[in-house]
Amino acid sequence: DGGITQSPKYLFRKEGQNVTLSCEQNLNHDAMYWYRQDPGQGLRLIYYSQIVNDFQKGDIAEGYSVSREKKESFPLTVTSAQKNPTAFYLCASSMLDPAYNEQFFGPGTRLTVL
Amino acid sequence: QQQVKQSPQSLIVQKGGISIINCAYENTAFDYFPWYQQFPGKGPALLIAIRPDVSEKKEGRFTISFNKSAKQFSLHIMDSQPGDSATYFCAARRNTGNQFYFGTGTSLTVIP
């Protein structure tokens, strides 16, 4: 089965803790993305990466960090510096070739801060 | 600043009716305009997409209309069904950097 997997599906965190959300894809896509989804605000880009060992900040990168050590993996760490981390987090991937534009999404991780 | 503006926020349509969702953008560097469908608790899935050199694209009951001069595009769902009840997002991709910008979403409810 080709696709994007995210784990865990649900995650609970105490205030002051860092947590890492996993994202893996076996689509051989070069580009990977992390979005945050809040009710009424659509999808907002946190970070994206077009190549291994390189990534760029999106619109709401503060309080988050990422790494891209392998093409297949793009984990997101939500740090204690993120003031309002409770949200639904979506990982996506796409090819860089503009002829193949579709962005594929994972099933999401719902993070709740207790 | 919202790069892609979407309306309405919510929409209720009778079964068999036409659902219309509108989006507008300002950045002329956008070169690809997809629509995504999202069910509760799931990731968005691509529904249909269009490039700016085409004014209309139809796939089954779903049609995108694109007005390049007005910088607007819309999704039309013909013969709307209860199974179409979901949240719909429009998006636009910048022609450099491969970055996507999303609208705020429309919650569609199709009443039987």
Q: Provide the pairing of β-strand B10-14 with B106-111.
A: parallel
Contact A31 B89 (CB under 8 A): no
What is residue B4's predicted lDDT score, i.e. its pLDDT? 94
What is residue B103's predicted lDDT score, i.e. its pLDDT? 94
pLDDT tens column, B56-99: 999 999 999 999 999 999 999 999 999 999 999 999 998 877 78
- Contact between A52 and A69 under an 8 Å Cβ cutoff? The reply is yes
Nearest by CB to B44, which of A31, A101, A105? Answer: A105
Supply A34's token pair.
């992390």
What is residue A2's predicted lDDT score, i.e. its pLDDT? 64
Three-state DSSP class for residue A29: coil
What is residue A102's predicted lDDT score, i.e. its pLDDT? 85
* Chain-centroid distance, C-alpha A71: 14
pLDDT tens sequence for chain A (114 residues): 569 999 999 999 888 899 999 999 999 999 999 999 998 778 999 999 999 999 999 999 999 999 999 999 999 999 988 889 999 999 999 988 777 778 999 999 999 998
The whole-number average pLDDT for the span B36-60 is: 94
pLDDT tens column, B17-27: 999 999 999 98
> CA angle, B83 as apex, B77 and B87 as ends, to 5°?
65
- Contact between A17 and A85 under an 8 Å Cβ cutoff? The reply is no
What is residue A15's predicted lDDT score, i.e. its pLDDT? 87
Confirm or reject contact between A5 and chain B (CB < 8 A).
no
- In this prediction, residue B111 has a pLDDT band, given cuts at 50, 70 and 90, of very high
| Closest CA of chain A from B92, distance in Å | 11
Contact A43 B46 (CB under 8 A): no
> CA angle, B51 as apex, B50 and B56 as ends, to 5°?
55
Confirm or reject contact between A47 and chain B (CB < 8 A).
no
Contact B102 A42 (CB under 8 A): yes
Mean pLDDT of chain B: 94
Q: Name the helix (H) or strand (E) containing A33.
A: strand A31-38
What is residue A18's predicted lDDT score, i.e. its pLDDT? 93
Confirm or reject contact between B55 and chain A (CB < 8 A).
no
